[in-house]
Amino acid sequence: MKLICAWCGNTIDRSDYSQMLDPNTSHGMCAACSEALALQEQGVSFERHIDSIPIPILLLNSDNTVVMMNTTASEMLGQKLDGSAEPFLGRVFDCVYSHLPEGCGRTIHCSGCAMRRSIAATFKTGQAQVLVPATLSIESPDQVSAATLTITTVKRDGVVLLRIEQRAFS
């Protein structure tokens, strides 16, 4: 049986997991997440804690504006939140439809966006949306490509955490 980190979803090498009590256990906590939790318990800020998690995480407010992203998300998306661009969800991901005159969230295509729907549902109900498949049309300087993501959303302290579980580009 594979051992999975319950926080980040990465596989944990059983030989390195000395505290495992039951060989049938399927979930635990990897070293990176354990360290992040220890930092949080020591009074480390929420922002620093999120930044220490080794998977892409974005924090969004109710109008789909990205208010923070961790270093892993920034590296994956190739951009930082520096105030030079609109930090709307579609813009941060370079969604083709966010560049239309109507803007992010205002085109006919946006109503079907799985990311927007998941974030809205999490804000409305407070319930996490887990492992939701999402596909975006991504614009680069020379082509349009499809990004297939699997996302999870969780509401915390008035924001939604958007966690990118898997990603593939074609």
Which residues share a beta bridge with 65? Answer: 88
109 pLDDT band, cuts 50/70/90, is confident
Q: How far apart are CA 148 and CA 118, in angstroms?
A: 15
The residues facing 137 across adjacent strands are 146
pLDDT-derived band at 21 (thresholds 50, 70, 90) equals: very low
pLDDT tops 60 at residue 23: no
Question: Locate tokens 């297939």: which residue?
Answer: 148
The model's confidence at residue 83, banded by pLDDT at 50, 70 and 90, is low
Cross-strand partners of 60: 66, 160
65 compared with 84, residue with greater pLDDT: 65
Q: Are 95 and 138 in contact (CB under 8 A)?
A: yes
Domains detected in the chain? 1-54 (no CATH), 55-170 (3.30.450.20)
- Asked if residues 3 and 26 have their Cβ atoms less than 8 Å apart, the reply is yes
Residues paired with residue 142 on neighbouring β-strands, in sequence order: none
Select the more confidently predicted residue: 64 or 9.
Answer: 64
Residues 153, 116: Cα–Cα separation, whole Å = 10
